[in-house]
């Protein structure tokens, strides 16, 4: 599986395009804020001859979902995420109150709820959903055993961890998610986070100061 990374928006966020050898692909956390960012990924998909077959969010914080409406509309794809974050999308909720950041972007509901342990298949590739609450109730990570790769969203970072002071975040849940779920993966597992540089499970066990 090939992984293309787009660093997007003002925060900035890592948007991942996971490309199977059969040219089927899924996009994770499309945080495209500007038209230029949207056009950049659209050009890449077209030039590479990729068929985009999936749209997944690791969680529903604004910086990770700015481009949901664009991807959903352009490629006719349902938004897949854990329903534990649905409250963030409700009318009058936290996200919709941030009109200063949202601008003209449309906040879309989750179309398909993902569950812990669920398998997402595209081409010959497979991702396992790991429910990793703490940063938000519906945070998930995506694990490819074949590629020894984990997309951790905002749960685990290089020598850091996700915030737990946002609506319904929970430090105890976050630490449990990391220690009991992510650290159960092999040490050589590559970790691709929602922000910042990649790391490995083994490195974080040894050097992450929060552990």
- What is the rounded distance in angstroms from the CA atom of residue 50 to the CA atom of residue 1? 13
33 strand-pairing partners: none
The CATH number of 2-207 is which of 3.60.15.10, 3.40.50.1370, 3.40.50.1000, 3.40.50.740?
Answer: 3.60.15.10
Instruction: Count other C-beta atoms under 10 Å from residue 149's C-beta.
Output: 20
Percent of the chain topping pLDDT 90: 89
Q: What is the pLDDT of residue 101?
A: 77
Instruction: Count other C-beta atoms under 10 Å from residue 89's C-beta.
Output: 18
- Residue 91 clears pLDDT 70, i.e. is over it: no
Q: What is the pTM of this model?
A: 0.95
Mind listing the pLDDT tens digit for each residue in 126-173?
999 999 999 999 999 999 999 999 999 999 999 999 999 988 999 999
Q: What is the pLDDT of residue 95?
A: 64
- Residue 195 clears pLDDT 90, i.e. is over it: yes
Average pLDDT along the chain: 95
Any idea of the CA torsion for 92, 12, 171, 119, to the nearest 10 degrees? 90
- Residue 99 clears pLDDT 80, i.e. is over it: no
- What is the domain partition of the chain in residue ranges? 2-207
Mean pLDDT over 6-21 rounds to 97
What are φ and ψ of residue 7, in 5° steps? Answer: -90, 120
Q: How confident is the model at residue 92 (pLDDT cuts 50, 70, 90)?
A: low
b/e map 102-120, b = 16+ CB within 10 Å: eeebebbebeeebeeebeb
Q: What is the pLDDT of residue 93?
A: 60
């Amino acid at each position: 599986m090939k992984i293309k990374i787009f660093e997007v928006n003002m925060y900035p966020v890592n948007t991942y395009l996971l490309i199977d050898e059969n040219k089927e692909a899924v996009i994770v956390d499309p945080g495209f804020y500007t038209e230029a960012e949207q056009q950049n990924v659209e050009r890449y998909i077209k030039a590479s001859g990729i068929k985009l077959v999936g749209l997944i969010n690791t969680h529903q914080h604004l910086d990770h979902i700015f481009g949901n409406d664009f991807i959903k509309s352009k490629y006719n794809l349902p938004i897949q995420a854990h329903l534990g974050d649905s409250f963030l999308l409700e009318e009058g909720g936290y996200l919709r109150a941030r009109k200063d950041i949202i601008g003209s972007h449309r906040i879309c509901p989750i179309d398909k709820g993902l569950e812990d342990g669920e398998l997402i298949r595209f081409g010959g590739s497979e991702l396992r959903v790991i429910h990793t609450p703490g940063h938000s109730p519906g945070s998930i990570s995506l694990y490819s055993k074949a590629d020894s790769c984990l997309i951790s969203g905002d749960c685990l970072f290089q020598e850091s961890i996700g915030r737990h002071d946002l609506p319904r975040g929970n430090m105890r849940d976050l630490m449990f998610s990391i220690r009991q779920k992510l650290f159960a993966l092999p040490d050589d597992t590559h970790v691709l986070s929602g922000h910042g540089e990649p790391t490995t499970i083994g490195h974080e066990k040894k050097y992450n100061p929060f552990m």
